[in-house]
Amino acid sequence: MHTVFSDGEVWPTVRVEEAWRNGLDVFSITDHVEQEYHSYQDDIRIDLNRSFELARTRAEALGLTIIRGAEITRDMPPGHFSAIFLQDVKPLQTSKWRDAVKAAYDQGAFIFWNHPGWIGQQPDGIAKWYDEHTELLEKGWLHGIEVVNQKAYYPEAQQWCLEHKLTMLGNSDAHQPIAMLYDSSSDAHRPMTLVFADNNSEESVKQALLARRTAIYWNNMLFGEDTYLKPVFERSIQILDPKITIIGTGLVYVQILNDSDVSLELVANGQVDEILFPIQITLRAGKTVLLPVRGRSVELSGSKEIKIPYRVNNLRITPLEGLPVELKLNVTFKKAKQ
Amino acid sequence: MHTVFSDGEVWPTVRVEEAWRNGLDVFSITDHVEQEYHSYQDDIRIDLNRSFELARTRAEALGLTIIRGAEITRDMPPGHFSAIFLQDVKPLQTSKWRDAVKAAYDQGAFIFWNHPGWIGQQPDGIAKWYDEHTELLEKGWLHGIEVVNQKAYYPEAQQWCLEHKLTMLGNSDAHQPIAMLYDSSSDAHRPMTLVFADNNSEESVKQALLARRTAIYWNNMLFGEDTYLKPVFERSIQILDPKITIIGTGLVYVQILNDSDVSLELVANGQVDEILFPIQITLRAGKTVLLPVRGRSVELSGSKEIKIPYRVNNLRITPLEGLPVELKLNVTFKKAKQ
Amino acid sequence: MHTVFSDGEVWPTVRVEEAWRNGLDVFSITDHVEQEYHSYQDDIRIDLNRSFELARTRAEALGLTIIRGAEITRDMPPGHFSAIFLQDVKPLQTSKWRDAVKAAYDQGAFIFWNHPGWIGQQPDGIAKWYDEHTELLEKGWLHGIEVVNQKAYYPEAQQWCLEHKLTMLGNSDAHQPIAMLYDSSSDAHRPMTLVFADNNSEESVKQALLARRTAIYWNNMLFGEDTYLKPVFERSIQILDPKITIIGTGLVYVQILNDSDVSLELVANGQVDEILFPIQITLRAGKTVLLPVRGRSVELSGSKEIKIPYRVNNLRITPLEGLPVELKLNVTFKKAKQ
Amino acid sequence: MHTVFSDGEVWPTVRVEEAWRNGLDVFSITDHVEQEYHSYQDDIRIDLNRSFELARTRAEALGLTIIRGAEITRDMPPGHFSAIFLQDVKPLQTSKWRDAVKAAYDQGAFIFWNHPGWIGQQPDGIAKWYDEHTELLEKGWLHGIEVVNQKAYYPEAQQWCLEHKLTMLGNSDAHQPIAMLYDSSSDAHRPMTLVFADNNSEESVKQALLARRTAIYWNNMLFGEDTYLKPVFERSIQILDPKITIIGTGLVYVQILNDSDVSLELVANGQVDEILFPIQITLRAGKTVLLPVRGRSVELSGSKEIKIPYRVNNLRITPLEGLPVELKLNVTFKKAKQ
């Protein structure tokens, strides 16, 4: 995110208050290091560490963790990079991009590629991988990529993260006030990187980021590896009455509570022999919905565990695949009376 | 409104974009002239005219009128004052309040008293009129009062405006981004001063303000004189089918469209001999509602214009009185068949 | 609630589906027993037990408890009464009101007075207590009163419940589909009686109703005795960081989570010696808000439990009094450095 | 739509009130003629004309036009059909489908095929055209098809309407209360057939339907021929400041008001030589948005009308094509100062 200390339009404290209101635990301000992005230098004395310092007090008062960061902003290739967990931003203000990235790396920074398919650098909106990115990767200077930036999703970046073992991130890249960028009267919200860390400390978050323990929440979707999305699904969903009795080809409604903030879009991922179930169903956020199931045969009897196979279309483990899940029911089948 | 050039938290351009989004035509930034309110002077070179100048280009690009203004911020009495239509803010930066107000007056400014019952100066939230205000009034140095400021309404101020022929104003006094102050997911919105001017030019607006041609829109209420609120009501409301036929004591629904953005809360203001009508009814903003009317006698016949007397509770012509209005119907009465 | 089996406009199954969607656990259909309210008898064969029977299957499929009920609908006094936990509605269809109420009583019904200030019977909207109500009370034929009916609240009824040890109820009295009566795009919702019962069984609910273990949820308010509202408050609110340090007259923000669906409106209920706190604050439903507290003296030091006294304006223990509560903080006071 | 007189769950008057609330001018209740769909015949005396008669009085009181209709409900092929503008529904209650359709045709009915891809008859959800439909078409017994039914859109049906000169319709097919089917707290709304008729009279509407002067409004989309969608677009959109001046490759914002209830999704449909404009932009319903345009050359000078080519993705003239439109600007180009 940016402030008046580069080309943003808010004082650093606004970023703290926004983070608190939006429910973030950890955040970073990443003002550009390059002078050409210091839009207000006629009025403001630019100090690259200043936005962090001005924000820190309020962040602490609100119990938030703020991480010192900066953006290295160069032509493509290699494009823009954020470096976080810095000790001092100043050494990054250098003309050659390799020097700037190295300066971050030498401070132990976590470095990620920003908006790889940004229309300002890739007019068709499609991210491209250059030799420079291979170089960064091989040097150990690249730890992650923004799969989501502001209001754009880059499927290529999600794929690269899987292939190259890079961390997936989703960030707002806000220059304006957040509430002007994402209208709170609509469903829009800032992208968030979910970091599966032990706690909110800087060390713990850094460890989790380096270990790629993240998922991205944006636009009623989660993007991440199944290792992380599966428990999210399992702790969000509760089948309120998993023991049901089906008589012949009769209809039974199963109540499913989705206790999360994300409506989950399920599509059938195969069939089962004993029962029919909907091809698609949406488990609305914070609501209980009815899943209608029906017996396939008048002849069935006895009890059985049935696993209904679905994919969750908006929990994306790859750009094209939803997370496979099973809804488990304990069904007692009874023959219908003639 | 305030920016980083006093104690606000946004760059001046944010105020322009917010004004455009909120549908304002005319606005003013009124940064404090006093050094003690220049919260960021360690980082920002303070120039009292700068926030106006930085905002002007974007305002013009968006077709908005921006008026140069400033806030004179002193202890109570006499409290805080905004001065708008200034040529140069600098002369107002002087230690004695009379000198500061005079400096504004000498530039032909429109001067108004801010948040007279502000809890920071009046702990019980009740506005008080001091000798200093009489002095300002008699010198011609006081033209209006904020009846609504940010999220507070001052009924005393509305009364004083009526008594002393002062202009009523309602302003946001925003320091944060507007969308952090008024959550767009709720019904809250910034207070707005409706100025009944010929056009959006600075001259025309100034003329209207000096002639007290204003009303205040806030919190689903309008505050103003009946001269201005009556036409607002009359052009908002349309009786879709004013010609009705009532048979005996029968029931007829009259469709009333409220084409404005303000839900209007009507309460009965007397009776009529011929028909019964609801004690209270809300004409929802942008909707058509049904007004049920019923004949009072089985004996009536013939046609007649009926004026149903209501008061509009949320169009306030004084702190305690809603605007009196009449809904006109052309009723044909028919005796019920026995 | 009513169905096409008296003067409602929906088939009984609609009432079940609505109850499920609105999150009710237990409900009753109370069609009028009197023939004059059987509006569709030209088309429908009226059977007073039929709406219950038609609704029961779907209620069971959805895991809801449905209670057989009926409305005895007479002129004022004594007005309208609902009787629930009936075995057979037919005996209530008798011309004299005492006979009808007795028929309900003889079946062990829970009997309550409906909408005592209903404008159709009390044109000024104010409930009146008649000798007939004293008679009913003394005979043990009256167990509760509707304090809230549809869209009206009767403060007199709340007072009578407290005085006469009667159960408070809040009901929709729906004739139309619920979603036509309470627009789900606004904050409006059907009134609900919260019954503090061991479980959802008919017996358990009846026991709780007879023991007056209820509160009413309506219009972002709860009405009930402090015995029941106090635990509601205490389990809704969580002070996230009750241990704070105040330096001199410095400001600290305390984070308070309101995990309930009801925004709680707190107003100060006295002062404390050591700290200043807001006169009023709203704890928004489902949100965390910041409570600003400030030291009153530069001289304080040491640790202390501070209880901040508030009343919750919208948890009403009497028609005029909000529930008194305390917010407990563990404050360490430190002298400010000079 | 259906009522308790076939397998719906509401009394006919509910359909009238819903129609009024939803802003319909004309509507029809189309209860099934077949006895197997008379779900409540144990309780209700079924009369096929009764739902129309019971609804008519309230429709007239509210100024709505109600058209007598019915649904002929048979296996696929040929499936379900609605017939409206009937004089008497009874003759349609006959066992052979050809006899039923002929009975409607003989009364001068407008006859349309319902939900051709309904999953109950086409398990894959894809509509199929059978010989029986060719037969109906050739006999002149088929006038239209539901392109949208309840919550489903049938692209095949839209294509058939274009090929066979049939009228496009979009209907709710409601059995439950409308507000239970389409949650008013979300953006969902009932499908509506926009009929471009001279007035709301039965004759005028029938004439327009037979002349195929319709479009369908559903799910923030319109489906129809360009003849009808083009004027909808043109009267919805207003360029507030079409005269602009572009200096060199400078940026100018053009304000575009969308005064309709439908957010319009524009995607570029070609290029223009002189200016750059966004690949895609959404004109939000009821809002003004800023269209950024930029000069392509520093060398341009002089004035010119520029037509920016877009397609409106959600105004569908075929299943795959949005309506082509042009935004006209009068641009004065000026060379940038060096």
Tell me: pLDDT of C61 over 70. Answer: yes
Same domain, B35 and B106: yes
Contact at CB, B180 and A13, closer than 8 angstroms: no
Neighbours of B271 (CB within 10 A): 12
B220-223 long-range Cβ contacts below 8 angstroms, 24+ apart: B220/B187, B220/B262, B220/B263, B220/B314, B221/B262, B221/B314, B221/B315, B221/B316, B222/B194, B222/B262, B222/B314, B222/B315, B222/B316, B223/B147, B223/B148, B223/B153, B223/B158, B223/B168, B223/B170, B223/B316
Tell me: pLDDT of D338 over 70. Answer: no
The answer to the question of residue A173 being in a domain is: yes
Helix axis angle, A12-21 to A50-61, nearest 10°: 40
Number of residues assigned to chain D: 338
Amino acid B123: pLDDT: 85
The answer to the question of residue A211 being in a domain is: yes
Q: How many domains does chain D fold into?
A: 2
Strands A167-171 and A144-149, how do they pair?
Answer: parallel
Phi, psi of A7, deg, nearest 5: -120, 20
Q: Mean pLDDT, to the nearest integer, of D201-226? A: 97
The answer to the question of residue C47 being in a domain is: yes
> Could you tell me the CA-to-CA distances from B294 to A214, C139, D56 in Å, in that order?
66, 41, 21
Phi, psi of B102, deg, nearest 5: -60, -40
Contact at CB, C62 and A241, closer than 8 angstroms: no
Contact at CB, B14 and A177, closer than 8 angstroms: yes
Query: What span, in angstroms and rounded, lies between the C-alpha atoms of D52 and D60?
Result: 12
Q: How far is C20 from chain D (nearest CA, A)?
A: 12
Same domain, B188 and B272: no
Amino acid C97: pLDDT: 98
Complex confidence, ipTM: 0.94
Taking only Cα atoms into account, the Rg of chain D, rounded to an integer number of angstroms, comes to 24
Same domain, B117 and B197: yes
The answer to the question of residue B69 being in a domain is: yes
Tell me: pLDDT of C162 over 80. Answer: yes
Query: Contact at 8 Å (CB) between B145 and B139?
Result: no
Of C219, C254, C283, the residue that ends a domain is: C219
Same domain, A214 and A241: no
Tell me: pLDDT of B12 over 80. Answer: yes
**Segment C269-316, tens digit of pLDDT:** 999 999 999 999 999 999 999 999 999 988 899 999 999 999 999 999
Chains near A, with 3+ CB pairs < 8 A?
Answer: B, C
Contact at CB, D255 and B62, closer than 8 angstroms: yes
One-letter amino acid of D149: N
Amino acid B91: pLDDT: 98
Which positions in chain A touch B17 (Cβ < 8 Å)? 176, 180
Contact at CB, C255 and A63, closer than 8 angstroms: yes
> Could you tell me the CA-to-CA distances from D317 to C180, D222, D312 in Å, in that order?
35, 9, 10
Which positions in chain B touch D61 (Cβ < 8 Å)? 252-253
Same domain, B300 and B161: no
Contact at CB, C179 and D180, closer than 8 angstroms: yes
Contact at CB, B252 and D62, closer than 8 angstroms: no
The answer to the question of residue C228 being in a domain is: no
**Segment A208-226, tens digit of pLDDT:** 999 999 999 999 999 999 9
Interface of C with D (CB under 8 A): 4, 8-11, 13-14, 17-18, 21, 40, 43-45, 47, 50, 54, 176-177, 179-180, 183-185
A68-72 long-range Cβ contacts below 8 angstroms, 24+ apart: A68/A28, A69/A28, A69/A29, A69/A30, A70/A30, A70/A31, A70/A32, A70/A33, A70/A104, A71/A2, A71/A6, A71/A30, A71/A31, A71/A32, A71/A33, A71/A114, A72/A33, A72/A97, A72/A100, A72/A101, A72/A104
**Strands (E) located in A31-188:** 65-73, 80-84, 110-113, 144-149, 152-153, 167-171
CB pairs under 8 A between A and C: 16
Chain B residue whose CA is closest to A50: B43
The answer to the question of residue A108 being in a domain is: yes
Q: How far is A81 from chain C (nearest CA, A)?
A: 34
**Segment A305-317, tens digit of pLDDT:** 999 999 999 999 9
Interface of A with B (CB under 8 A): 4, 8-11, 13-14, 17-18, 21, 40, 43-45, 47, 50, 54, 176-177, 179-180, 183-185
Which positions in chain B touch A9 (Cβ < 8 Å)? 10-11, 13-14
- Report how far Cα B141 is from the mean position of its chain's Cα atoms: 22
Tell me: pLDDT of D275 over 70. Answer: yes
Which positions in chain A touch C61 (Cβ < 8 Å)? 252-253
Structure tokens at C248: 């001199």
Tell me: pLDDT of C185 over 90. Answer: no
C160-163 long-range Cβ contacts below 8 angstroms, 24+ apart: C160/C127, C160/C129, C161/C212, C162/C225, C162/C318
Contact at CB, B61 and D241, closer than 8 angstroms: no
Strand partners of residue A288: A257
Tell me: pLDDT of D336 over 90. Answer: no
Q: What's chain A's average pLDDT?
A: 96
Interface of C with A (CB under 8 A): 61-63, 240-241, 252-253, 255, 290
Interface of D with B (CB under 8 A): 61-63, 240-241, 252-253, 255, 290
Tell me: pLDDT of C27 over 70. Answer: yes
CATH number of residue C116's parent domain: 3.20.20.140
Helices (H), B212-308: 226-236
Same domain, C139 and C272: no
Place D188 in a pLDDT band, splitting at 50, 70 and 90: confident
Q: What's chain B's average pLDDT?
A: 96
Query: Contact at 8 Å (CB) between B286 and B259?
Result: yes
Query: Contact at 8 Å (CB) between A67 and A87?
Result: no
Same domain, C131 and C270: no
Q: Mean pLDDT, to the nearest integer, of A163-181? A: 97
Contact at CB, A180 and B14, closer than 8 angstroms: yes
Burial of C133 (0-12, 13-18, 19+ CB in 10 A): buried
Q: How far is C320 from chain D (nearest CA, A)?
A: 33
Q: Which residues contact A132 (CB under 8 A, 6 or more apart)?
A: A77, A78
- Secondary structure in 3-state letters for C156-196: HHHHHHHHHCCEEEEECCCCCCHHHHCCCCCCCCCCEEEEC
Which positions in chain C touch D21 (Cβ < 8 Å)? 180
The answer to the question of residue C38 being in a domain is: yes
Strand partners of residue A28: A67
Query: What span, in angstroms and rounded, lies between the C-alpha atoms of C76 and D147?
Result: 55
**Segment D113-153, tens digit of pLDDT:** 999 999 999 988 899 999 999 999 999 999 999 999 999 99
Chains near B, with 3+ CB pairs < 8 A?
Answer: A, D
Expressed as residue numbers, the domain containing D156 is 12-219
**Segment B210-224, tens digit of pLDDT:** 999 999 999 999 999
CATH number of residue C277's parent domain: 2.60.40.10
Of D167, D192, D219, the residue that ends a domain is: D219
Which positions in chain B touch D63 (Cβ < 8 Å)? 240-241, 255
Q: Which of D2, D3, D6, D11 has the most C C-beta neighbours within 10 Å, making it the best mutation to test the interface with C?
A: D11
The answer to the question of residue C124 being in a domain is: yes
Contact at CB, D252 and B61, closer than 8 angstroms: yes
Contact at CB, C11 and D18, closer than 8 angstroms: no
Q: How far is A196 from chain B (nearest CA, A)?
A: 29
**Strands (E) located in chain B:** 26-29, 65-73, 80-84, 110-113, 144-149, 152-153, 167-171, 192-195, 214-218, 221-224, 237-239, 243-247, 251-258, 264-268, 275-276, 280-283, 288-295, 302-316, 322-334
Query: What span, in angstroms and rounded, lies between the C-alpha atoms of C241 and C254?
Result: 6
Query: What span, in angstroms and rounded, lies between the C-alpha atoms of D162 and B135?
Result: 79
Same domain, B249 and B215: no
CB pairs under 8 A between C and D: 66
Share of residues in chain D with pLDDT > 90 (%): 95
Q: Mean pLDDT, to the nearest integer, of B200-209? A: 98
Contact at CB, C17 and D176, closer than 8 angstroms: yes
Which positions in chain B touch A11 (Cβ < 8 Å)? 4, 8-10, 40
Tell me: pLDDT of D204 over 70. Answer: yes
Amino acid B338: pLDDT: 62
Q: Is the peptide bond before B78 cis (omega within 30 degrees of 0)?
A: yes
Query: What span, in angstroms and rounded, lies between the C-alpha atoms of A95 and A85?
Result: 21
Query: What span, in angstroms and rounded, lies between the C-alpha atoms of A328 and A335?
Result: 22
Of B219, B251, B274, the residue that ends a domain is: B219
Chain C residue whose CA is closest to A290: C62
Phi, psi of B61, deg, nearest 5: -60, -30
Which of C4, C54, C179 lies closest to D179 in CB terms?
Answer: C179
Same domain, B74 and B172: yes
Amino acid D186: pLDDT: 74
The three-class DSSP label of residue D297 is coil
Amino acid A294: pLDDT: 94
Structure tokens at A241: 């009455």
Same domain, A161 and A242: no
Taking only Cα atoms into account, the Rg of chain C, rounded to an integer number of angstroms, comes to 24
Chains near C, with 3+ CB pairs < 8 A?
Answer: A, D
Q: How far is B27 from chain A (nearest CA, A)?
A: 18
Place A124 in a pLDDT band, splitting at 50, 70 and 90: confident
Query: What span, in angstroms and rounded, lies between the C-alpha atoms of A301 and A246?
Result: 9
**Segment B252-294, tens digit of pLDDT:** 999 999 999 999 999 999 999 999 999 999 999 999 999 999 9
Amino acid C338: pLDDT: 62
Encode burial over A44-70: b for 16+ CB neighbours within 10 A, e otherwise.
bebebbbbbebbbebbeebebbbbbbb
Which H or E run includes B118? Answer: none
Share of residues in chain B with pLDDT > 90 (%): 95
Contact at CB, C63 and A255, closer than 8 angstroms: yes
DSSP C103-116: HHHHTT-EEEE--T
Tell me: pLDDT of A338 over 70. Answer: no
Structure tokens at C261: 């669906």
Tell me: pLDDT of B131 over 70. Answer: yes
Query: What span, in angstroms and rounded, lies between the C-alpha atoms of A243 and A331?
Result: 6
Q: Which of C3, C6, C7, C10 has the most D C-beta neighbours within 10 Å, making it the best mutation to test the interface with D?
A: C10
Same domain, C191 and C82: yes
> Could you tell me the CA-to-CA distances from D10 to C10, C14, C220, D180 in Å, in that order?
4, 8, 30, 12
Q: Which of B17, B25, B62 has the most D C-beta neighbours within 10 Å, making it the best mutation to test the interface with D?
A: B62
Same domain, B242 and B135: no
Which of A18, A45, A184 lies closest to B184 in CB terms?
Answer: A184
